[in-house]
Amino acid sequence: MSADSGDLRARLERFTAAAAARELAPADESAARAAFVELKAALNAGTVRAAERGADGAWHANAWVKAGILLGFRLGRIGPAAGGGPFPFYDKDTYPLRRFGVEDGVRIVPGGSAIRDGCYVGPGVVCMPPMYINVGAWVGEGTMVDSHALVGSCAQIGRRVHLSAAAQIGGVLEPAGALPVIIEDEVLVGGNCGVYEGTIVRERAVLAPGTLLTGGTAVFDLVHDRVYRRDGDRPLEIPAGAVVVPGTRPVRSGAGARAGLGLYAPVIVKYRDEKTDTAVRLEELLR
């Protein structure tokens, strides 16, 4: 973290503590707003992130960044928001839509998409309408965010990821120390997938259409004969290169067993190979 970021962190932590205790004086509000504007600029530039991967490969949340984002909501006042045309929108004045120029290299196809101010969207990102990227998110270079896809607050999306149509990447803003959803580089998230509650999907994994991953999901690895779950503070983690498909497991006791019911259970059926890579490369033709 740079010296400038350290100073920004110190100021934001002071203002967020005062706001949480309802002790933010009116005289300090303008300074708090100025610090928040600096935070949004740093988030837009990608120099500050809501979560980062350490040298050991472990991800950690930057609680001060997430607390600063929450401060923006406390400071904001509801007012008219741009982009409504004949339909009026009203939002916190601290969170307008982010403005882009040709120099940003982001392709935003017409049709009703929105990107909130205070998130990084890298060069070469393709946004197919309608889609939405929320505050605090980080979307890496060359990623496609397809139609009806959501990138939730503070979610971290790697480079050359494909979020297929109607994929939902959940937001994790509170508590400030909670890890957001992480989708690493070159992951393919199929249509109608949902990834929530701080789940980590490691690089080059493939989620087949309809796969749902939450903090309470057990994922069965048929290749390595393992079961992956959230373990206390450790989130559910999908291994690198895993190919995950929706599956079921039978209920083995009680009324569920007598009725022949099954429970949803994602299954790792294989790890990426040449055939999988060929199918994924076909997706790149859309970019």
Same domain, 110 and 67: no
Same domain, 110 and 51: no
Output the six-digit token pair for 281. Answer: 């490369």
Q: How far is residue 271's CA from residue 9's CA, in Å, rounded to a whole number?
A: 41
Q: How far is residue 61's CA from residue 54's CA, in Å, rounded to a whole number?
A: 11
Q: How far is residue 284's CA from residue 142's CA, in Å, rounded to a whole number?
A: 10
Same domain, 144 and 195: yes
What pTM was estimated for this model as a whole? 0.93
Task: Summarize pLDDT for 143-196 with one digit per residue, the tens.
Answer: 999 999 999 999 999 999 999 999 999 999 988 899 999 999 999 999 999 999
Asked if the structure places residue 23 within a domain, the reply is yes
What is the predicted pLDDT for the residue at 1? 53
Asked if the structure places residue 83 within a domain, the reply is no
Q: Quick check: 272 pLDDT over 80?
A: yes
Residue 34 neighbours by CB distance under 10 Å: 12
Mean pLDDT for the chain overall: 93
Question: Number of structural domains, the chain?
Answer: 2
Asked if the structure places residue 220 within a domain, the reply is yes
Same domain, 159 and 249: yes
Q: How far is residue 9's CA from residue 176's CA, in Å, rounded to a whole number?
A: 14
Same domain, 112 and 234: yes
What is the predicted pLDDT for the residue at 93? 96
Task: Summarize pLDDT for 70-86 with one digit per residue, the tens.
Answer: 999 999 999 998 766 67
Asked if the structure places residue 141 within a domain, the reply is yes
Same domain, 15 and 142: no
**The domain spanning residue 161 has which CATH number?**
2.160.10.10
Same domain, 68 and 110: no
Longest dimension (CA), the chain: 67
**Domain range holding 234?**
106-274
Q: How far is residue 136's CA from residue 49's CA, in Å, rounded to a whole number?
A: 7
Work out the burial of residue 96: count CB atoms within 10 Å of its CB; fewer than 13 is exposed, 13-18 middle, 19 or more buried.
middle
What is the predicted pLDDT for the residue at 182? 98
Same domain, 159 and 218: yes
Same domain, 126 and 45: no
Same domain, 110 and 56: no
Asked if the structure places residue 19 within a domain, the reply is yes
Q: Is the separation of the CB atoms in 5 and 13 below 8 Å?
A: no
Which residues lie closer than 8 Å to 208 by C-beta, 6 or more apart?
Answer: 190, 193, 243, 244, 245, 246
Q: How far is residue 44's CA from residue 54's CA, in Å, rounded to a whole number?
A: 21
Q: Is the separation of the CB atoms in 157 and 143 below 8 Å?
A: yes
Nearest Cα to 181, choosing from 208, 149, 209? 149
Asked if the structure places residue 87 within a domain, the reply is no
What is the predicted pLDDT for the residue at 284? 62
